[in-house]
Amino acid sequence: AVHQIALARRHERPLSVLMIDLDRFKRINDTRGHPAGDLVLKAMASAGKHILRQSDIFARLGGEEFAVLLPETDEERAIVIAERLRQAVAKARFEHDWGEQGPIPFTISIGVAPCFKDDAAIEYALKRADRALYDAKQDGRNRVKVWSRMPEAKASGEVRAAG
């Protein structure tokens, strides 16, 4: 990650980050058990593998939270990638045999933020993406939200509402 930030700065190239949270993951673990939770995590990883590029850095931060570093990606493209990932995860529930209890519906919420050239560390961009993620969760989950400098721009930052 440090190397990617240095490259983006040096060559004045865009860099974006995503913060991702599996919606209601605790409920899945509590009602279906940890093996089901593990399957959900694997489905998330699989979706990431299929949507993200080899140059993207995809990491599980812990629990149900993930981060993605998107080199050479401006905010507009990051939104497209985030939405594709969100849709892929929503479809993943139909691609697995969940046993006799039926499919486990699971979705993700995603916060998108740019990494600015004057950011001293990736943590600044991650905090911005985390704020956008918080807004996505607060606004109903299963959506992509974009970090905005202006609080009143919150409504225009939503990419997709849960349907």
The domain segmentation of the chain, as residue ranges, is 2-157
Q: pTM of the predicted model, to two decimals?
A: 0.85
pLDDT digits (tens, 9 = 90+) for 63-80: 999 999 999 999 999 999
User: What is the set of active-site residues?
Assistant: 64
Q: What percent of the chain has pLDDT over 90?
A: 55
The CATH class, in words, for 2-157 is alpha beta
CA terminus-to-terminus distance, the chain: 34
What are the tokens at 125? 């961009």
DSSP assignment of 57-78 equals EEEEEETTEEEEEEET--HHHH
- Supply angle C-alpha 156, 129, 46, rounded to 5: 105
